[in-house]
Structure 1
Amino acid sequence: MDDHQREHYLTVYLNDHLAGATAGKARFARSARAHRGTEVGEALSRLHAEVAEDRRALLRWMGVLGIARQPWMQVAGRAAEAVGALKPNGRLVRSSPLRTVVELEALVLGVEGKGALWRTLRELARTDSRLDADALEELVQRADRQSAELERLRRGAVTDVLGR
């Protein structure tokens, strides 16, 4: 594979993650608002701020690598997130308690994907001097911590809604 093809694939890959980061940021904000005044809401509000910073970090890395943003991908990501928010989870008129479980699962998946992104860039740092492996390792560790916290919240929601 030549360098032009690699650059093309990296552009697609990073823009896909930027679309996911845009959607994830919106989902964290919406979920934090929906759970305002609860332990879940406080955690999601704090994580939303971190996720917003992670999105900015992705944009910085894209700039370092000379990767152009594809704004239509971000619009598509936001649209997909908005459609996903319409799922009734067993109720049509008012919010279902199951919604918390489903939202937290979606947030866990998003953060796991973001962790994979940082691991990929950390791996590329072995041969690309533009990337800082130590800075990327910090992002990997933050994603791991976020994932663990979301998983703890998810398990609590599962117990509350589906447990006996």
Structure 2
Amino acid sequence: MSQQALEIYMNDHLAGSTTGQLISRHLADHHRSLPHGGELRRVADEIEEDRQSLLDLMAALDVPARRHKVYAGWLAEKARLLKLNGRVTRRSGLSTVIELEALRLGIEGKSLLWESLLTLTPREELDEGRLRTLLDRAHEQIDTVETVRREAVGAGLG
């Protein structure tokens, strides 16, 4: 992968991680008193750590973080507020389902990032063990979010 392609790829994932961090924090805050509140808080904390890991990897690979990509991720998360959920002034069960689905898709994308970087591990800047740990954690996050999503579907759509 060329340096330019690596910069674009990693910055696109940085934008996605910005969106995911905001969505996960929103879900954790909104559901803090519900049965899965602690699990959502853990996932949100881990996503924040994963974003920092991405920034650390970018620095190690001399990939500058592009501010406009971070802003694009922030705007994407704010655009979520504009979607129609059948209610004008409050959340619906559909809001939670869609947010959980978006979060799961983001984590799936993050797992693909870690897998892609694993193919580059002959580079001395990349720690294969750390990437495998991040990949395993992404899979655990997917399982957690999917469990909560299934319950939300039953409550919000059933």
- Shorter-chain TM-score category? over 0.9
The CA deviation at 1:87 is: 1.6
* 1:62 to 2:47 alignment: no
Specify every segment of 5 or more residues in structure 1 that has no aligned partner in the other structure, as ranges.
none
2:27 to 24, 31, 36: 31
- State the distance in 1 between where 2:144 and 2:77 align: 22
Percent of aligned positions that are identical: 42
TM-score normalized with structure 2 length:
0.95
Specify every segment of 5 or more residues in structure 2 that has no aligned partner in the other structure, as ranges.
none
Which has the larger Rg? Answer: 1
- State the distance in 1 between where 2:92 and 2:21 align: 22
Q: Deviations over 1:81-101 (max 9, x none)?
A: 101133231211221111111
| Structure 2 counterpart of 1:130 | 125
1:141 to 132, 136, 140: 136
- State the distance in 2 between where 1:159 and 1:15 align: 36
- State the distance in 2 between where 1:161 and 1:73 align: 33
Q: Deviations over 1:1-31 (max 9, x none)?
A: xx7xx10000000001011111111111111
Greater RCO, 1 or 2 (C-alpha within 8 Å, sep 6+): 2
Q: Is the 8 A contact 2:93 2:157 kept in 1?
A: no
| Structure 1 counterpart of 2:92 | 96
Root mean square deviation, CA, Å: 1.3
TM-score normalized with structure 1 length:
0.91
What letter matches 2:90 in structure 1? R
Q: Is the 8 A contact 1:104 1:154 kept in 2?
A: yes
| Structure 2 counterpart of 1:43 | 39
Task: Tell me whether 80-89 or 45-54 shows the greater mean CA deviation.
Answer: 80-89
2:8 to 7, 12, 16: 12
What letter matches 1:100 in structure 2? T
